[in-house]
């Protein structure tokens, strides 16, 4: 599909430039002028391509396995970590990590959904699909943060909650609903960052925060475009690009709707092309919002959170003059 092939020319040109640099080095040749021209061409192509992406192309970018994952952000941004496992009811869901740590000078509780990088990790983490025990573990950590007055920082990256029979038997819907209930009343600052896929209730179960930040090429939606295509067009996902347009699932869409509070711009070409820069930008955004939230007392914070979520979905029709 041409829409999903938009990175091919860029990748080919990048490989050619690297090969040309290596050829020049091995043969002691001065090809700097040619290489500089190619790099200018590459930059121009990147700006053109990534400046006009469709929503479906952004879905593709959000799913790339090369994107930095929650564990990368946690390793770089959270120090003095003590991971806490298990939900104290059933078991430990490897699709989410969490514990105590420090963000700069601030003691915090962190959460992060994990999709895995290798085949073994992906199987261990259910490809990022959380079970009820994962949501109960997250709730346990959030209540711990509330008890010790530590802010919560949550990294969201999941295709959705696990849809299997065993998850339903263990109370999947109830676990997510309980998290929503408690997050709405959590008496501590709460920041969520959507770094990849924000899949429906699976994402919302750890993301009902005071501030919701979103990476430029992340998505946040009620269902994947392929599923929406099947529901609306009764097909096997062939209309996923059209479904993505209708879902309005990109960071810019959701910022316009007031659902997310900031869009964190990614390096040119996406976070996977410069993970270090992407992580630094996320860290700066978290710091700015955390320091702002810490200025409010808990009661004021609760009022602001209530107002934020009560205002989502309000719309007017007709002439308002």
Q: Calculate what percentage of the chain has a pLDDT beyond 70.
A: 98
Local structure of 133: helix, strand or coil = helix
Tally of CB atoms within 10 A around 202: 26
- Segment 178-207 shows an average pLDDT of 96
List the one residue out of 94, 92, 192 whose CA is nearest residue 151.
192
pLDDT tens column, 14-24: 899 999 999 88
- The pLDDT of residue 29 is above 90: no
Q: Are 214 and 256 in contact (CB under 8 A)?
A: no
Total residue count of the chain as it appears in this document: 321
Residue in the structure block whose two tokens are 């879902």: 247
pLDDT band at 192 (very low <50, low <70, confident <90, very high): very high
pLDDT tens column, 137-166: 999 999 999 999 999 999 999 999 999 999
CATH class of 60-311: alpha beta
Q: Would strands 190-199 and 106-113 be described as parallel, antiparallel, or unpaired?
A: unpaired
Local structure of 229: helix, strand or coil = helix
- Segment 246-259 shows an average pLDDT of 94
What whole-number distance in Å separates Cα of residue 8 and Cα of residue 31? Answer: 24
Task: Name the DSSP letter for residue 208.
Answer: -
- Mean pLDDT in the chain? 93
- The pLDDT of residue 244 is above 80: yes
Task: Name the DSSP letter for residue 212.
Answer: E
Predicted local confidence at residue 25, as pLDDT: 87
Q: Calculate what percentage of the chain has a pLDDT beyond 90.
A: 80
In this structure, the dihedral spanned by the alpha carbons of residues 215, 71, 222 and 301, taken in order and rounded to 10 degrees, is -70
pLDDT tens column, 95-106: 999 999 999 999
What tokens appear for 175 in the block? Answer: 């676990």
Tally of CB atoms within 10 A around 71: 18
- Segment 239-260 shows an average pLDDT of 94
Q: Are 219 and 59 in contact (CB under 8 A)?
A: yes
What whole-number distance in Å separates Cα of residue 51 and Cα of residue 48? Answer: 5
List the one residue out of 281, 259, 254 whose CA is nearest residue 208.
259
pLDDT band at 2 (very low <50, low <70, confident <90, very high): very low
- Segment 214-233 shows an average pLDDT of 94
The pTM of the full predicted model, rounded to 2 decimals, is 0.91
Predicted local confidence at residue 314, as pLDDT: 76
pLDDT tens column, 61-106: 999 999 999 999 999 999 999 999 988 888 899 999 999 999 999 9
- The pLDDT of residue 3 is above 60: no
DSSP string, 258-320: TSSSEEEPPPTT-GGG-HHHHHHHHHHHHHHHHHHHTTS-HHHHHHHHHHHHHHTT----S--
């Amino acid at each position: 599909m041409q829409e999903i092939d938009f990175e091919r020319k860029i990748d080919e040109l990048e490989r050619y430039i690297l090969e040309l640099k290596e050829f020049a080095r091995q043969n002691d040749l001065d090809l700097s002028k040619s290489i500089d021209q190619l790099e200018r061409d590459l930059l121009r192509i990147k700006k053109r391509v990534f400046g006009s992406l469709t929503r479906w192309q952004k879905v593709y970018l959000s799913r790339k396995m090369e994107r930095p994952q929650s564990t990368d952000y946690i390793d770089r941004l959270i120090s003095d970590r003590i991971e806490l496992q298990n939900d104290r009811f059933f078991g430990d869901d490897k699709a989410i990590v969490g514990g105590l740590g420090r963000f700069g000078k601030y003691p915090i509780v962190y959460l992060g959904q994990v999709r895995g990088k290798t085949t073994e990790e992906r199987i261990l983490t259910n490809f990022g699909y959380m079970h009820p025990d994962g949501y109960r573990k997250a709730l346990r950590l959030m209540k711990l943060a509330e008890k010790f007055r530590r802010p919560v920082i949550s990294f969201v990256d999941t295709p959705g909650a696990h849809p299997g029979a065993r998850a339903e038997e263990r109370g999947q819907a109830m676990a997510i609903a309980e998290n929503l209930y408690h997050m709405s009343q959590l008496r501590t600052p709460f920041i969520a960052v959507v770094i990849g896929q924000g899949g429906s209730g699976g994402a919302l179960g750890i993301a009902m925060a005071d501030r919701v930040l979103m990476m430029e090429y992340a998505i946040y939606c009620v269902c994947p475009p392929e599923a929406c295509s099947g529901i609306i067009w009764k097909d096997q996902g062939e209309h996923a690009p059209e479904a993505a347009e209708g879902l309005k699932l990109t960071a810019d869409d959701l910022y316009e709707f007031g659902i997310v509070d900031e869009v964190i711009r990614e390096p040119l070409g996406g976070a996977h092309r410069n993970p270090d820069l992407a992580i630094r930008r996320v860290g700066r955004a978290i710091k700015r919002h955390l320091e702002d939230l810490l200025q409010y007392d808990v009661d004021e914070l609760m009022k602001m959170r209530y107002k934020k979520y009560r205002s989502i979905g309000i719309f007017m029709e007709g002439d308002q003059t």
